[in-house]
Amino acid sequence: PRPAPPPGARAAARPVGAPQPPPALHRDAARVLGEDRGPVLAVAGHLLAARAEGRAPDCGPAEVGVLRDAAEELLVRGDAREAARLLELAAQGQGDEHVRRGVLVRLAQVTARFDPAAAERRLGELLEAARAGLLDAEQVQPLAGLLLAQGQVTEAAALLPAAVGEPAASPLDTLVDTPAAVSERLLHSARLTDATVAPLAQAVRSLLCSEHPERAVPWSRNLLEEARRCQAPGWSAVFAALHAEALLRMGDPRGAYAHATAALEALPERGGNFPCGPAAVLIRACTVMGRFTEASRFADRQVPKGVLTGLHGPAFLRARGLYRLAVNQPHAALADFLEAGRLMEDARVDRPAFLPWRTDAAEALLRLGEGARAEQLALRQLAMADAQRPYVRGVSLRIKALTGDPKRRSAVLGQAVEALHRCGDRVETARAMAELGRALQAEGSAAKGSAMVRSAWNLAKEAEASALCREILPDAPLAAAPARDRAPAETPATAAGPKLSSSEQRVATLAAQGLTNREISAKLYLTVSTVEQHLTRVYRKLQITSRGDLPMGLEPIPHHPAPA
């Protein structure tokens, strides 16, 4: 049973005499309810009303405890903004400084649900306290999680060893080197909460850097949907940005553009480091699609150097460099790539699996006629451990082929195409295929080279990479394949007879481009058995016996995978 209130407590709420001003009434009501062990939301409401009416109450340890409990109850109901207001009031209370710092950590966590930039601003005092050793492990862990969710891996890594007693390592190593199976186990088992938002975001980033980046697409989409169900626009921005990055890695610039835009629109303000991430995806997507005017709106903005930190700063510099390279500004592009590399080296996050700045810089150097320097950068990247990953290996081999021995160019480019096929990046694959086609033509294999160039153009068109299409075949209209590059009228693809279904045509198109059944299954989210069944029906309908007989003139159909 609830104990009776102290003598005179109820009378204190309604004193005899002249009426007290409203703030005093609210303070007294909060005190009486607190002594009477009333509902924490009612007590907190009176404390908040007293503050709103012009005089903040003097919150002691008891009132601070009530405000914290009421904030947690509001969070269960999904009202993060009101919970943040209560925690702000609790942080102004009198009492234990250690308790106040715990309230500030929780306030930053809650604020991150709806405003990552505001949460980032709240971290300054907490970081100073952590560096001074004033935070315990229970406070450091959520603080590090907030930093990780915002891409500030270096700051987070500086805190975590003090909390868990582990030796400091390169802050990006854990993210990049976590096996895909381990990341997916976490993604399977964890529900989205304040405590898990950072590990889940890191797990998606880990998949993006793995040998199977296509797995990041359904997971980031699922987490984005969950964040929206939680009515947490800050979380939505985090996972929309990751989903946009995953789509861009798979060669879907239109989808990447839509979700990067949604990530920015979910933010109440654009300050801080975090918006550099979705802005980088927007710049790259617009550049790939040939929308240079729109890309310039983001790329040409003045960004303070202090903001270009963590993972998002170098990503923004790289995106701006790629845009400048596309609009024929190789000197400016080279400066951006080298600055991104300097930031990554200084922060000890220099991993090509995350950002291959060396081959970007080599591309700019090639445009400037400095092939020797370009080759050195490509070879250096190939010598790094990340060169075993298909994406890094593919982009590095393409540059090596263009700067190395011309007699081996087609062989090295063939290896690049194979590696990029495996990682699923349609745009980079098309770029390497076009280079391979030109190399074959230069070696005297005109028919084979022309077929490869045609396949590269089709793949770039399927990915809506308009800028690359114009680079591969400048005179070809984007509305349809150029007449000279379509399959001859007598090919099985255009002969009268049964038509392919959309699924069969997608599988046949990728098979004609050289992808294996397993690679097709990963790209289209089908089982290998389903791919084999589709190909069997394609062979029967087209009256052929193997994938080597598939016509190059198959018109690609855009693929939009269903949610996992």
**10-residue averages of pLDDT along the chain (564 residues):** 36 40 46 46 58 56 78 85 84 78 89 84 83 84 82 77 49 83 93 90 92 91 94 92 94 93 83 85 96 93 77 93 96 96 88 95 95 95 94 96 92 94 91 95 91 92 92 77 37 49 83 77 79 85 73 52 42
Please give the tally of structural domains in the chain: 3
* One domain, residues 502 and 414: no
Q: Which of 124, 150, 176 is the last residue of a domain?
A: 150
Q: Give residue 308's pLDDT.
A: 79
Are residue 463 and residue 533 in the same domain, yes or no?
no
d(CA 342, CA 73): 46
Looking at the domain assignment, is residue 516 inside a domain? yes
pLDDT at residue 270, as a whole number: 66
Write the single-letter amino acid at 306: G
Residue type, position 506, single letter: R
Q: Which of 227, 228, 217, 141 is nearest to 180 (CA)?
A: 217
**Residue 431 · residue 251 · CB < 8 Å:** no
pLDDT value at residue 294: 94
Q: What CATH number is attached to the domain comprising 476? A: 1.25.40
Assigned domain for 339 exists: no
Query: What's residue 228's pLDDT?
Result: 93
pLDDT on residue 39:
56
Identify the pLDDT of residue 310. 80
Cα–Cα distance measured from residue 408 to residue 429, given in angstroms and rounded to the nearest whole number: 19
The count of residues in the chain is 564
Tokens of 241: 């940005």
Residue 246 lies in a domain: no
Domain hosting 403: range is 368-485
CB-CB neighbours of 100 under 10 Å: 16
Pair (25, 146) in one structural domain: yes
Q: Does 525 lie in the same domain as 481?
A: no
Q: Are residues 450 and 498 in the same domain?
A: no
> Domain for residue 51, yes or no?
yes
Name which of 284, 343, 505, 524 is nearest 424 in CA terms.
Answer: 524
DSSP state of 290: T
Q: What is the CATH number of the domain that holds 533?
A: 1.10.10.10
Are residues 244 and 94 in contact, defined by beta-carbon separation less than 8 angstroms?
no
Q: How far is CA 217 from the centre of its chain?
A: 10
475 with 562, same domain? no
Q: Which of 150, 177, 211 is the last residue of a domain?
A: 150
Which residues have a Cβ under 8 Å from the Cβ of 188 and sit 6 or more positions away? none
Report the C-alpha gap between 516 and 507 in whole angstroms. Answer: 10
d(CA 542, CA 159): 62
Q: Alpha-carbon distance 14 to 32, whole Å?
A: 10
Which among 342, 532, 513, 332 has a CA at the least distance from the CA of 432? 513
295: in domain: no
Looking at the fold, whether 517 and 426 belong to one and the same domain comes out as no
- Regarding whether 125 and 35 lie in a shared domain, the answer is yes
Residue 32: predicted pLDDT: 42
Residues 75 and 130 placed together within one structural domain of the fold: yes
**Same domain membership, residue 144 and residue 71:** yes
Between CA 129 and CA 125 the distance in angstroms is: 6
Residue 97 CB: number of other CB atoms within 10 A? 9
Q: What predicted TM-score, i.e. pTM, was given to this entire model?
A: 0.75
User: Does residue 456 sit in the same domain as residue 510?
Assistant: no
Sequence-separated (6 or more) residues with CB below 8 Å from residue 120: 150, 271, 272, 273, 274
User: Are 80 and 113 in a shared domain?
Assistant: yes
List of residues 6+ apart from 438 with CB closer than 8 A: 449, 453
What pLDDT shows up at residue 185?
Answer: 94
Q: Would 43 be classed as within a structural domain?
A: yes
